[in-house]
Amino acid sequence: MEGKFVFCARREAGTRMARPASARRAVRGETFRMAEAYAKADGKPSGTGYTRDMISVLRALPVQQIRLLVFDLDGTLIDSRKDLVNSVNAMLVEFGRQALPEEIIASYIGDGAGMLVRRALGDPHNEALVEDALEHFLTWYRAHKLDHTHVYAGVLEALAALRPIADGGGERSMAVLTNKPVGPSVAICEALELSPYFFQIYGGGELWAGE
């Protein structure tokens, strides 16, 4: 079962958590609902007794104090899986390799273009081969990065809603931090009308190799 938690923590025996009662009820209610779903998926007993023992929220997130939001790109703001898969398979064919199923290549995504190519090649020890294949992959991807890539439904509306701070508090700064190379990242954000929401788009190689 897939899902993303924002702030969840396991409560240790004997600890006390100070937070407003209203915030506690609202946040814990949603946390318990998510925990129940995870418990059911894992075959664990359901009921608030189980979830109350396992998960509790330490404190409500101070939303009004958040001034900067940083987003990943692939799999968070955009669905780029098909174009990445096609680009990997185009590279493999050029190198005389057999194309791989989409699900296999998708499992290699997430640690940068270099690791994606290395895994698709079977993790060879020939570094020259990996570097050459990476260049072929990037050349293909730059030309086909927008064949199927699209913004997830609701993302643009969510960004518009997240930017202003309530009660006249101004606007939050937002940025993208991705291990995708910066050139394609910027081009994709511009083409899909994401760029106006971000003061900066940081791509792979600018700060560090991974996210």
Catalytic residues: 72
- Please tell me the total number of residues recorded for the chain in this structure: 211
Report the C-alpha gap between 8 and 21 in whole angstroms. Answer: 17
Report the C-alpha gap between 68 and 119 in whole angstroms. Answer: 34
Q: What is the dihedral of CA 22, 25, 27, 28, to 10 degrees?
A: 160
Tokens of 117: 């190519």
Residue 158, C-beta contacts closer than 8 angstroms, at least 6 positions apart: none
Type of residue at 15 = T
45-60 burial, b for 16+ CB within 10 Å, e for fewer?
eeeeeebeeebbbeee
Tracing tokens 């993208």 back to the chain, one arrives at 176
Report the C-alpha gap between 86 and 137 in whole angstroms. Answer: 10
Type of residue at 158 = A
Type of residue at 67 = R
